[in-house]
Amino acid sequence: MELNFNEEQIILRQTAESVCKNYADLSSLREIEGTELGYSEDFWKQLVELGLTGISIPEEFGGSNMGLLDSAILYEEFGKALALSPLFISSFMCASLVESFGTKAQKDIILPNIASGADIYTLGLLEKNSSFHESGINLEIQNKANSLVLNGSKQMVPYASVAKEIIVICKYKNSIVAAIVPMDQADVIHSYQANHAKTSMYEVEFNNVKIDDSMLLIHENFWSVWELISQKCQILIAAEAAGGSEKSLYLGRDYSLEREAFGQKIGSFQSIAHYLADGLVEVEASKLMTYQAAWAYDNQRDISSLSAMAKLQACKSYREISATTIQIFGGMGFTVDADPQLYFRRAKHLQNSLWGESYLEQQLESAFFNKTRKSD
């Protein structure tokens, strides 16, 4: 694995840092948190103009086809700034689904519009009282009066209010498939769902929504491919968490050099210094593990364990570091006027996103025992 970034990757990082500084600072975050839109339109326009909405999409569909390590660099900077946008759900998750399962006609229509930022797509995955496991998919396409219809709902759907279409993972003929459903139908109802990170999340209800065959994404190994897409995207979540934990750590360090107790700066206390030193080790470990996982994907290596470890490590460290930063700030750190709580809430949000901690641990346990059996 090459640990040094090339010139293009360095420029990409500098560009992302500059865009976040100018269009996605914490003041703008406070304005968009908890709103139905959930992101800055000016920030989104910058991502579109820079071609970042097509960063992972093949060139034949108008994208730049950059590697996952490049995308991880981008998301590390987004994590530092707590930048919010539909980029992850639209340009990575939904675009990957269409690229993996779509027909030529579906790809030719959908992917160029995602790459250009003209259309935003979202994903319906989670269901009420369900899990990330295959058994958690219970929403089913039914055949009624010679028509395919969808009834039910999906929970915590990102950016449903601005999405042109939603890709719904569901059941059809006893198999897991995906259905592409336009959001502008009267029978598709979305309602904002409050969440601790105050991001744009919705419940989307489907009331006898007709599904045409041309709207289906079908593959004989759908769930296996979907798991690989999830693993790839978990690496981006890990990158975002690593960036967020680094920024949170430095918030704590800087404040420890200002706050006084017992007549001296609290940064001079050995206990605080140890917390910060341990946090720095955690940040660097998270970043290195994330880079390794992204590099492995770009080099066609197995990432099933690496992605799980990267997400577990980065998100757990983020939660712990952001909690420590709040303690360094003291009582003020818990208030909404202070910045540390912004990182703490986002840390928990990322920890629960796209496979929770217990499910990732189960995946690692299964991979370990399978590897042990093979070696025996």
Q: Which domains does the chain have, with CATH numbers?
A: 7-116 (1.10.540.10), 121-217 (2.40.110.10), 222-367 (1.20.140.10)
Q: What is the DSSP letter of 128?
A: T
- Under the banding of pLDDT at 50, 70 and 90, the label for residue 358 is confident
Q: What is the pLDDT of residues 303-319, one digit of tens each?
A: 999 999 999 999 999 99
Task: Sort 131 into a burial class: Cβ within 10 Å, 0-12 / 13-18 / 19+.
Answer: middle
Q: What is the pLDDT of residues 220-255, one digit of tens each?
A: 999 999 999 999 999 999 999 999 999 999 999 988
Query: What is the reported pLDDT for 376?
Result: 57
- Under the banding of pLDDT at 50, 70 and 90, the label for residue 330 is confident
What does each C-alpha distance from 322 to 89, 195, 202, 275, 360 come to in angstroms? 25, 18, 26, 11, 22
Query: What is the reported pLDDT for 233?
Result: 97
Mean per-residue pLDDT, 5-22: 97
- Under the banding of pLDDT at 50, 70 and 90, the label for residue 374 is low
Mean per-residue pLDDT, 209-226: 95
Query: What is the reported pLDDT for 372?
Result: 61
CA dihedral sign of residues 136, 137, 139, 143 = negative
Query: What is the reported pLDDT for 259?
Result: 76
**Structural element, H or E, at residue 200:** none
Rounded to whole angstroms, the Cα distance separating 197 from 45 reads 23
Q: What is the pLDDT of residues 150-188, one digit of tens each?
A: 999 999 999 999 999 999 999 999 999 999 999 999 999
Query: What is the reported pLDDT for 368?
Result: 72
Token couple for 47: 């991502």
Q: What is the DSSP letter of 150?
A: E
Share of residues in the chain with pLDDT > 70 (%): 97
Share of residues in the chain with pLDDT > 90 (%): 82
- Under the banding of pLDDT at 50, 70 and 90, the label for residue 55 is very high
Here the contacts of 35-41 (C-beta below 8 Å, separation 24 or greater) are 35/200, 36/161, 36/192, 36/200, 37/161, 37/162, 37/200, 38/84, 38/158, 38/159, 38/161, 38/199, 38/200, 39/84, 39/85, 39/86, 39/159, 39/200, 40/84, 40/85
Answer yes or no: are the C-beta atoms of 327 and 116 closer than 8 Å: no
Residue 267 has pLDDT above 80, yes or no: no
Mean per-residue pLDDT, 79-107: 98
Q: What is the DSSP letter of 314?
A: H
Dihedral Cα 259, 260, 261, 263, nearest 10 deg? 170
Pick from 169, 158, 231: nearest CA to 199: 158
Token couple for 250: 């430095």
Dihedral Cα 125, 131, 135, 137, nearest 10 deg? -20
Query: What is the reported pLDDT for 235?
Result: 98
Mean per-residue pLDDT, 52-61: 98
Query: What is the reported pLDDT for 375?
Result: 58
Where b means 16+ CB within 10 Å and e means fewer, 78-116 reads bbbbbbbbbbbbbbbbbbbbbbbbbeeebbeebbbbbbb
Query: What is the reported pLDDT for 321?
Result: 97
Task: Sort 56 into a burial class: Cβ within 10 Å, 0-12 / 13-18 / 19+.
Answer: buried
Rounded to whole angstroms, the Cα distance separating 137 from 368 reads 26
Rounded to whole angstroms, the Cα distance separating 350 from 236 reads 10
Mean predicted lDDT score pLDDT of the chain: 94
**Structural element, H or E, at residue 157:** strand 147-158
CA dihedral sign of residues 240, 241, 244, 249 = negative
